[in-house]
Structure 1
Amino acid sequence: MNQTAWLLLLEGAWTTLWICTLAISIGVVLGLLIALLRMARIPFLDQLLVTYVSLARATPLVTLVLFLFLSAPSFGLALDRNTAAVLALTMNTAAFNAEVWRAAFISFSREQREAALACGMTEGLFFRRIMLPQMITSSLPGLVNEMSFLIKSSPAIAVIGIVDLTRVTNRISAVTYQPLPPILAAGLLYMLIIGVLIKLQALAEKKANRLAT
């Protein structure tokens, strides 16, 4: 491949990266909020959140992308391609992240809460200083797995015209009639992005282990 093809691939990789990073950042926080609200067991709200999580997890990502982009104007929302893509990825990953966070809640030891409250800690202080750090550590592998899966599923956003890494690969293949080189290059770029993510996970786990000792 020539230099122009590599530059196009890098531009596509950047589009994939910033859209996925934004969706993951919002999705992790939104997933935590959903898990907290579900653990509060507010009857109507709990059922609403269960329905959302179930539907978002069951709906193919490409269907969600198309639905948001094509149906939004019917509800008075004019979403551009980038906004629709970020929103679809966020809704998808938040649902999966909510289950990861909820599992961390369920597995948390009640004895620690009772001991903290007995020592005079408030609920909020206990959550910030004891519960949340442990939950982040235990949830990290699951969250990173979901992040990796989202990045690998992100080519779904190309159906609404976003020039991501996969769409650029298809364009180069169509022009050069040599599909293998751009596909291999795109594969390497995806591996690089996910490899950096996994490396960050390892560093975060090491730091958490040092703080725990």
Structure 2
Amino acid sequence: MTGGDILAMLGGAVVTVTLSLVGILIGLPIGLGLAVLRWADVPVIARIVAVYVSILRATPLVTLLLLLFFALPNIGIAIGPISAAILALVMNTAAFNCEVWRASLMNFPRDQYEAAQSVGMTAALRFRRIVLPQIARASLPGLVNEMSLLIKVTPVLAVVGVVDITRAAVRIGAETYDPLPPFLVAVALYAPIVFALVSLQRWIERRQLMAEAAA
């Protein structure tokens, strides 16, 4: 592999990290919002959210991506490969994040919520001060696992022309007729990205334990 090949792989890594981060940062709060709607059992809306989440979880990311990329222009919505990739990632991860958040909400002790209500706390304040800190701690492992999976499925974005780590490795391997080196580099690039996420999870958990011990 040449220096240019290494730079191409690093460029693919930048694309992978950027798209993954955008998907995570947008998908996390959307997933939380969907979970809250189901937890609150809002009439009609809760059922719509349940159907939406079920469909998105059952739809492979590559199928969703191709549907968005080819269907939206047919109804007059122009969309490029990057925009389609971000939209597909957000819709996919939001659906899975919703179930992670909802599981924590279902296990949240309702008596705490009702006790906060009895002392006059508003619904928004109860959720922000009582519910969210506890479900965030309980959801952290599942959310980090979903983030890791999101990073590892980004190679499917290549079907619409997005050049990520894997796409760059395939291209270099085809040009050099020696696919092993670029794929070894690809593994070496994916590993620290996922390791960084796991390390962040452990750091947050340590901070939470220290805060609880100091309280």
TM-score w.r.t. the length of structure 2 is 0.95
Q: How does 1:47-126 map to 2 (within 5 A)?
A: 47-126=47-126
Deviation per residue, 1:22-65 (Å, 9 max, x gap): 01110001000001111222232122111110111001111111
Off by >6 Å, runs of 4+ in structure 1: none
Secondary structure at the aligned position of 2:162 is classed as: coil
Amino acid at match of 2:15: T
Structure 2: distance between partners of 1:93 and 1:152: 12
- After TM superposition, give the deviation of residue 160 of structure 1 in Å: 0.3
Structure 2: 5+ residue runs without aligned partners? none
Amino acid at match of 2:97: N
Amino acid at match of 2:83: T
TM-score w.r.t. the length of structure 1 is 0.96
Percent identity for Structure 1 against Structure 2: 50
Deviation per residue, 1:107-134 (Å, 9 max, x gap): 0012222332344433322211121011
Q: How does 1:1-213 map to 2 (within 5 A)?
A: 1-213=1-213
Structure 2: distance between partners of 1:105 and 1:53: 16
Secondary structure at the aligned position of 2:153 is classed as: helix
Moved more, 112-121 or 191-200: 112-121
Aligned residues: 213
Secondary structure at the aligned position of 1:43 is classed as: coil
Structure 2: distance between partners of 1:64 and 1:125: 37
Structure 2: distance between partners of 1:125 and 1:142: 25
Structure 2: distance between partners of 1:42 and 1:117: 19
Secondary structure at the aligned position of 1:103 is classed as: helix
Structure 1: 5+ residue runs without aligned partners? none
Aligned Cα root-mean-square deviation (Å):
1.1
